[in-house]
Amino acid sequence: MKRALAIVEASESAKELVREAGELAAGVGAELVLLHVTTNEEYEDTRTSLEGIPNLETSYTAGQALEGARQFAQDIGREVLDGIDVEYEAIGRIGDERDQILDAATELDCDHVFLAGRKRSPTGKALFGDRTQSVILDFDGAVTVVTE
């Protein structure tokens, strides 16, 4: 492993996974990238909510959403990687989670992806797709998954 991509989310299992990714990266001298993806739906919901506040003279831009996602990844990294001797970079993206994970892994030349799986019924997987399964099938490298 030379560079790993760890997907950052607010769940405890995702935080533990980031910590494990950091420990593994530190152990082999690899670089670590922390990625938080804000979905298009989350971005639009926040933007719409802010626009609905009377007398608020501000807007929520894509740039602000990107910075918010990056800052979230940075904050989680600071929280869970404290005491681990690993350098990491925090990045944020907006869009479809699967696409953004795969694009970031390719663009940043990552050879390992760490992500938390989500429990979903077979019907839910059929209707909405399964991000974890798609990443496992479409990423040309190792994928480590933990479930809640």
Provide the strand spans (E) within 39-128.
Answer: 88-94, 112-117
Residues 3-55 have pLDDT tens digits of 999 999 999 999 999 999 999 999 999 999 999 999 999 999 998 888 888 87
CATH number of the CATH domain containing 39? 3.40.50.620
Q: What total number of domains does the chain contain?
A: 1
Residues 75-126 have pLDDT tens digits of 999 999 999 999 999 999 999 999 999 999 999 999 999 998 866 556 545 4
Model confidence band, residue 147 (pLDDT cutoffs 50, 70, 90)? confident
Q: Range of 11's domain?
A: 3-147
Strand order in the sheet with 3-7: 88-94, 31-38, 3-7, 112-117, 142-147
Integer Cα distance of 19 and 77 in angstroms: 8
Integer Cα distance of 46 and 56 in angstroms: 14
Is the overall model pTM greater than 0.95, yes or no?
no
